[in-house]
């Protein structure tokens, strides 16, 4: 018990370990809070930066796509669907498991991972 108590007392003089919430108190309206941050009225604690090579939301560049279907073949979650008419793909974000295998396999680099990770939403589009 004593060892833990020493640790706890030490902790009193240390910086808080957990990441800060975006705002100090829960705002009445989250979107209103974000808008006021954009206008520069209030300050927001920025999200924790991600390391290089983070597997976030996948960006699809339709112009570069040559319709080779390799990404359709390796996708474990059927997040990539091939469009027969256009010979292009459609990427479903809500099915994606963010493994990044399609990014590795893409021959023209039409698919790229981004650093975005705040993807939770109430709607599926």
Partner 1 sequence: MRKAGDIIGQESRDTYSICVGPVHPALKEPVRLNLRVRGERIEHVDFELSQVHRGIEWMGTRRNPIQILYLSERICGICNICHTFAFCRAVESIAGIEVPPRARYIRTIVAELERIHSHILWAGVAAHELGFDSAMHYAFRAREKVLDVIENLTGNRIMKAIMMIGGVRRDMDKGQARLVMEAADFYSRCSRKLEKIFLGDPVIKSRTRDTGILTRHDCLALCSVGPTARASGVRKDVRQDEPYGAYPDVGVKAMTPDEITGETRGDVYDRIAVRLREIKQSADIIGRCVKDMPEGKIAHEDKANVLLGELRGVQGEGIGRHEAPRGEVFHYVKLVGEEAPYSWKVRAPTYNNLLSWIPMMLGAQIADIPVIAASIDPCMSCTNRAVVTGPGRRQVLGQDMLHDLSVKRTRELRRGLRP
Interface with partner 1 (CB under 8 A): 1, 3-4, 7-8, 17, 50-51, 53-55, 70, 73-77, 97-101, 104-105, 113
| Rounded CA separation 118/84 (Å) | 32
Q: Minimum CB separation from partner 1 for residue 14, in Å? A: 10
Handedness of CA 116, 117, 118, 121 (dihedral sign): positive
125 sits in which H/E element: none
| Rounded CA separation 114/107 (Å) | 18
End-to-end CA distance of the chain: 52
Q: Minimum CB separation from partner 1 for residue 4, in Å? A: 5
Q: 44 or 99: whose CB is closer to partner 1?
A: 99
Q: Minimum CB separation from partner 1 for residue 82, in Å? A: 15
Q: 33 or 98: whose CB is closer to partner 1?
A: 98
Which DSSP letter does residue 82 get? E
Q: 14 or 39: whose CB is closer to partner 1?
A: 14
Q: Minimum CB separation from partner 1 for residue 38, in Å? A: 28
Q: 27 or 100: whose CB is closer to partner 1?
A: 100
Q: What is the distance, to the nearest Å, from the Cα of residue 80 to the centroid of all Cα atoms in its chain? A: 18
């Amino acid at each position: 018990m004593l060892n833990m108590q020493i640790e706890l007392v030490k902790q009193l003089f240390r910086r808080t370990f957990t990441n800060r919430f975006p705002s100090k108190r829960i705002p009445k309206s989250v979107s209103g809070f974000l808008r006021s941050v954009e206008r520069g009225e209030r300050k927001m604690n920025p999200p924790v930066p991600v390391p290089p090579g983070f597997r976030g939301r996948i960006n699809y560049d339709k112009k570069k796509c040559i319709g080779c279907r390799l990404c359709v073949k390796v996708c474990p979650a059927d997040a990539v669907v091939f469009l027969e008419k256009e010979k292009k793909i459609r990427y479903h974000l809500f099915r994606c498991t963010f493994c990044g295998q399609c990014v590795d396999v893409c021959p023209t680099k039409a698919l790229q991972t981004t650093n975005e990770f705040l993807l939770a939403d109430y709607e599926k589009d």
